[in-house]
Structure formats: C-alpha cells, structure tokens
A and B are shown apart, each in its own frame.
Chain A
Amino acid sequence: NAGVTQTPKFQVLKTGQSMTLQCAQDMNHNSMYWYRQDPGMGLRLIYYSASEGTTDKGEVPNGYNVSRLNKREFSLRLESAAPSQTSVYFCASSLLPRDNEQFFGPGTRLTVL
C-alpha cells in the first residue's frame, strides 16, 4: 500500500498562474483533508471532505477550491496564485470523520514568485 500520495513534490508558479495539487489514498478512507504548513504557524486546515460527495471549508479556505473526485482522490486548486500561498501543502486521510488518526502524504512544496 502506498498510503497517501501527493503530486507534484515541488512547484514554482508565477503570481496569477493556476494549478491543481493532486492527492490520492489507497486505504479506503472516507475522510480527506488539505493543510498548509508555514514556519511559526503550524498546520492549518484549508478544506476537508468528511465523506465522498461532501466538502467543507477549514480555517484558511480563501484562494482555494477543492474537488472530491471519488473516494480515493481529493484535489486542491489555486485559481490565481499569490505569493502568500507559498507554503508546504499536506493532504491527509482518516477512516472515519471522527477517527483520531490522520495519515499524511509527503507534502508539496509550492513557491509563488
């Protein structure tokens, strides 16, 4: 089992460009999450999907959109990238919404110039 996979690992964008971060899990988990991690700020939740077919905003949703494509895949889209979105992005999944354990992917390091 690969667990949670993310693509790409690294990306550099210019201000105003768009891109989609991909995430997939092979653990048959119901819930999936997108976080960003910035120095001194910890992990902050952007969006989550408690179950297939549902998505909800987290703490810092502005500038992002998500799609729960199917049970396995949850993508994060930046429509018009800004330097403030330079960060490391982590996707995570859990078996159930109330399940304490979240499994994280290896992250995508994004730089917006």
Chain B
Amino acid sequence: TQLLEQSPQFLSIQEGENLTVYCNSSSVFSSLQWYRQEPGEGPVLLVTVVTGGEVKKLKRLTFQFGDARKDSSLHITAAQPGDTGLYLCARNSGYSTLTFGKGTMLLVSP
C-alpha cells in the first residue's frame, strides 16, 4: 500500500498567521494533488505538481514538490477564515485511481 502521511492532523490558528502542512510518502510518486474540502462539501482540486522541485502558487497558497518526489508541502501566507477546511493530498495508485492522505484540518479564527 502506497501510504501518504499528512501532518499535522489538526491546526488551529488566528487570522493573519502563516502555516505549512506536509504530505510525505516512503515511495516516489509521479505526481501529487492537493484538494481542499470545506465543511459539508466534497473535495475540490487546488493544484497538481508533477516535477521534482516544482513550486506552484495560487494566490496566498504555495505548493512545493520535493526534489526526490516523495514529499510535498502547502504553505499559506496570512491565513483567512475562508481558508478553513480539510486539506488532502492524493497520488496516483494504479491506472485509474487515487490514494488520499487522511488530511490536515485547518481552522482559522477571526
């Protein structure tokens, strides 16, 4: 089983703070996706990273794929209450399926 470990499991911060969450695996993966799931809704894709060392930015969110393609991080600058949600990483686990990590639950308080 190609497990994805996400850390921390839960993060509670104040508006305006910066944070980083992590996604790690013991094996190399060809690509990695980050999803955000808001309470009561399904996950929504934020970004896909493919190349080792790749950095992608989405407004205040910065995604990095490790050089060895075994890990990834998501950094949020100046978090806002609208960033509250469950952040999931996912990797291909066969021809047509994804394996998801257990997620990091982020709570941003005003």
Contacts and interface: CB of A to CB of B under 8 A. Distances in A.
A107 B42 contact: yes
A6 to B, nearest CB: 9
The majority secondary structure among interface residues of chain B is loop
Contact of B42 (A97, A98, A106): A106
B42 A104 contact: yes
Interface string B69-110: 000000000000000000010001001111111110000000
Interface size class of B (residues with CB under 8 A): 20 to 34
Contact of A42 (B40, B44, B45, B100): B100
Contact of A106 (B31, B41, B97): B41
B33 interface: yes
Interface of A: 4, 31, 33, 40-45, 48, 50, 58, 90, 92, 97-98, 100-107
Interface of B: 31, 33, 40-45, 48, 88, 92, 95-103
